[in-house]
Chain A
Amino acid sequence: MMIELKNIVKEYHLGLETVHALAGIDLNLDKNEYVAIMGPSGSGKSTLMNLLGCLDTPSEGEYHLNSQNVSEMSDDELAEIRNREIGFVFQNFNLLPRASSLHNVELPLIYNGTPASKRKELAEEALTKVGLSDRMHHRPNELSGGQRQRVAVARALVNNPAIILADEPTGNLDTRTGDEIMDLFEDLHDNGNTIIIVTHEEYIAEHSDRIIRLRDGRVERDEAR
């Protein structure tokens, strides 16, 4: 099992009130699964993604990633796991606005010490893979929304991580460009990556092999397709 969540609880304290963003989640994911996470707004999808992506740690429960207990790791250990194992694609792209596509894609490689020449080669390769070989030196504000998200996908895959996490990656895109991005995820899945994607749209979820529906911080339904 690649990912094992055991009774994961995530609480937020707002004054005297306690919000249970996640109220006990048990979940297992295998290598090379393609999973869609769905659910109404506020049901805990993003919170779950942040935990899966090691950006956050749970209030209770255990998270094992490749048999390592992630729930008790330090900030820096988590940073290393994120760099090595996980590629993120965000709804709002989260690119560095003043850096070129190439530099944005190079970032994960900078933080694992890949030498400069190798870095450039890998980043160019990743950008070519997403069809942006002619946009290497453009900055995000010189690119369309679809192109920006492609840069983000290139950045997510450049380090060859096992897991790609995408939180509403098509949320800010029109249907056609959204479909193009989904095609990229299909390719990644075909190459053996594990894909976890949060979406509102049934037609996006249809790309996946398994749909997990959340409600009020719990798994409401978990179905293979």
Chain B
Amino acid sequence: MIISLSELSEGFRIALHALKTNRLRTILTTLGILIGVVVITVIISVIQGMNTYVSGELSAIGTDNVFVTQYPWMINSWEEWLRVRGRPKIDSKHFEFIQEYATLAEVVAPEVATRRTVKYRNEDLTRVIIYGTTPGYMVLSDAMPEFGRFFNDSEMQHRRNVCVIGWEIADKLYKDVDPIGKRIKIGSQSFFILGVMEERGQLFDFSMDNNVLIPYTVFQKAFGKHRSLEIQAKAVNPELVEELKDELEELMRRTRGLKVGQENDFNINQQSQLMDVYNNLTKVLWIVLIGIGSIALLVGGIGIMNIMLVSVTERTREIGIRKALGAKRKVILLQFLVESMFISSIGVILGLLISIGLATAIKQASPIPVDISGWVALLGVGFTVTIGLFFGLYPASKASKLDPIEALRYE
């Protein structure tokens, strides 16, 4: 049997009427659904926004760069720390060895860092990061000097006191003068400024412009050799990153004289590892999402079922009259399903409006770009409509099966 247009429109008429007469009750009932929609859409959108934000930030590290370090980037337990804390430092010998023998690396550069106060005339900046590196830094960091030039291999070999300063240093310390050709005091030593790096922005909260780059050879002369280096390498071809990692591991093991079966006493890292860590964190959010969302929707669904059961009871006599006049089961079923769908739709619409408001607020208050995308809204709607249908089905089917005589006799 097909439901006729007149029967369908009667279903809508009844639902609208019922909702108009029970406005407050309807709104209260939709609260669970509303919360469900808000939780699902907002949390998914926040996760999406954070994904965009974090992967955007992490791209500054270089997707294809490989980092050889003394310790792992992430130490997850005390036991792990105890295991790795005795590792030998990575020094310039390792770097030079890798630079000489790595075949899959386009560029290899060391990086060693410390914090010092830098000074020009009477002004100084404290806790500026001083990096010791090689010209390979430009390729690995994908950053070039904006003014002047980077130091070259010769200056590096001859251990000249030359440097390239970050954008922020130039901005703060050399306000009215061209820094190139001027001197800068790093700690107790004086350096000649060759260039100013282009502005690089922030990695999360960390400024990438508040630093001074000097040859690593000079760094060791000026600040000592006791710091471990980090060796950075970029594969000749992005598809060879994994092979490069293997090669670096092999070279490191060789310089360290590790035997087969002996554990690595260094780490080979990649940006994707940070992404993995981040993805693990968002897993927690997904669990929260699924937890709260499903509870809210369940509560919402039960609310709808409850209110529909009340509605069926209140209208028993009406159902009896309609049946006596020829309404078939499907028609009564439809009538009540339409009503429960109406109620859940109100929850969905209000929920979406609130979600959009919340998303806008989060977007303005944080760096996370939270947008309710079309498919997220659709997902929220789909979920709720399903819930409305599912929980509306029992009361509606109960109504449709009422015995007309008993229903007519109901007081």
A113: chain B residues at CB < 8 Å are 4-7
- The residue on B at minimum CB distance from A56 is B405
Contact present for A82 and B405 (CB under 8 Å): no
10 pairs of A and B residues whose beta carbons are closest in the complex: A83-B326, A113-B4, A111-B326, A76-B328, A108-B325, A79-B328, A110-B6, A107-B325, A55-B404, A110-B10
Write the nearest CB–CB distance from B58 to chain A, whole angstroms: 62
Complex-state Cα separation, A94 to B408, whole angstroms: 8
Q: Which of A76, A84, A88 has the most CB of B within 10 A?
A: A76
Q: Is B323 an interface residue (CB 8 A)?
A: yes
Contact present for B6 and A114 (CB under 8 Å): yes
A109: chain B residues at CB < 8 Å are 6
Q: Is B50 an interface residue (CB 8 A)?
A: no
Q: Is B324 an interface residue (CB 8 A)?
A: yes
Binary contact readout B3-18 vs A (1 if CB under 8 angstroms, 0 otherwise): 0111101100000010
Complex-state Cα separation, A108 to B328, whole angstroms: 12
Complex-state Cα separation, A112 to B3, whole angstroms: 10
Contact flag A98-B17 (CB < 8 Å), given A55-B405, A79-B323, A119-B6? yes
Write the nearest CB–CB distance from A109 to chain B, whole angstroms: 8
Contact present for A111 and B329 (CB under 8 Å): no
Q: Is A80 an interface residue (CB 8 A)?
A: yes
Contact present for B6 and A116 (CB under 8 Å): yes
Task: List residues 96-128 of chain A with CB under 8 A from any CB of chain B.
Answer: 96, 98, 107-116, 119
Q: Which of B1, B325, B329 contacts A155, CB < 8 Å?
A: B325
Q: Which secondary structure characterizes the binding site on chain B? A: helix
Contact present for B6 and A98 (CB under 8 Å): no
7 A–B pairs (Cβ distance < 8 Å), ordered by A = A56-B404, A56-B405, A82-B324, A82-B326, A110-B7, A111-B7, A111-B325
Residues of A whose CB lies within 8 Å of any CB of B are 50, 53, 55-56, 75-76, 79-80, 82-84, 88, 90, 94-96, 98, 107-116, 119, 155
Contact present for A82 and B6 (CB under 8 Å): no
Q: Which of B21, B322, B329 contacts A75, CB < 8 Å?
A: B329
- The residue on A at minimum CB distance from B408 is A94
Complex-state Cα separation, A55 to B405, whole angstroms: 7
Contact flag A108-B326 (CB < 8 Å), given A94-B321, A98-B17, A115-B6? yes
Complex-state Cα separation, A53 to B408, whole angstroms: 13
Contact present for B21 and A98 (CB under 8 Å): yes
Residues of B in contact with A, size category: 20 to 34
Residues of B whose CB lies within 8 Å of any CB of A are 1, 4-7, 9-10, 17, 21, 317-318, 320-331, 404-405, 408
- The residue on B at minimum CB distance from A93 is B321
B408: chain A residues at CB < 8 Å are 55, 90, 94
Complex-state Cα separation, A107 to B324, whole angstroms: 10
- 4 more contacts with CB within 8 A, not counting A55-B408, A116-B9, are A76-B328, A90-B408, A107-B321, A110-B10
Complex-state Cα separation, A114 to B9, whole angstroms: 12
Complex-state Cα separation, A139 to B192, whole angstroms: 97
Q: Which of A75, A96, A111 has the most CB of B within 10 A?
A: A111
Contact present for A94 and B324 (CB under 8 Å): yes
A50: chain B residues at CB < 8 Å are 405
A96: chain B residues at CB < 8 Å are 318, 321
B330: chain A residues at CB < 8 Å are 76
- The residue on B at minimum CB distance from A112 is B326
Complex-state Cα separation, A84 to B328, whole angstroms: 13
A107: chain B residues at CB < 8 Å are 321-322, 325
A94: chain B residues at CB < 8 Å are 317, 320-321, 324, 408
Complex-state Cα separation, A119 to B4, whole angstroms: 14
Contact present for A80 and B322 (CB under 8 Å): no
B405: chain A residues at CB < 8 Å are 50, 55-56
Write the nearest CB–CB distance from A48 to chain B, whole angstroms: 12
Complex-state Cα separation, A76 to B7, whole angstroms: 15
- The residue on B at minimum CB distance from A109 is B6
Complex-state Cα separation, A13 to B318, whole angstroms: 26
B326: chain A residues at CB < 8 Å are 79-80, 82-84, 108, 111-112
Q: Which of B4, B17, B317, B324 contacts A55, CB < 8 Å?
A: B324
Contact present for B21 and A111 (CB under 8 Å): no
B328: chain A residues at CB < 8 Å are 75-76, 79-80, 111
- The residue on A at minimum CB distance from B6 is A110
Q: Which of A82, A98, A115, A116 contacts B325, CB < 8 Å?
A: A82
B318: chain A residues at CB < 8 Å are 96
Q: Which of B1, B321, B324 has the most CB of A within 10 A?
A: B324
Complex-state Cα separation, A83 to B404, whole angstroms: 13
Contact present for B317 and A111 (CB under 8 Å): no
Complex-state Cα separation, A24 to B84, whole angstroms: 97
Contact present for B331 and A111 (CB under 8 Å): yes
Contact present for B6 and A76 (CB under 8 Å): no
Write the nearest CB–CB distance from B411 to chain A, whole angstroms: 10
Contact present for B6 and A83 (CB under 8 Å): no
Write the nearest CB–CB distance from B283 to chain A, whole angstroms: 51
A155: chain B residues at CB < 8 Å are 325
Contact present for B327 and A79 (CB under 8 Å): yes
Complex-state Cα separation, A116 to B6, whole angstroms: 7
Complex-state Cα separation, A109 to B9, whole angstroms: 13
Write the nearest CB–CB distance from A207 to chain B, whole angstroms: 24
Write the nearest CB–CB distance from B8 to chain A, whole angstroms: 10
- The residue on B at minimum CB distance from A46 is B405
B329: chain A residues at CB < 8 Å are 75-76, 79
A80: chain B residues at CB < 8 Å are 326, 328
B325: chain A residues at CB < 8 Å are 82-83, 88, 107-108, 111, 155
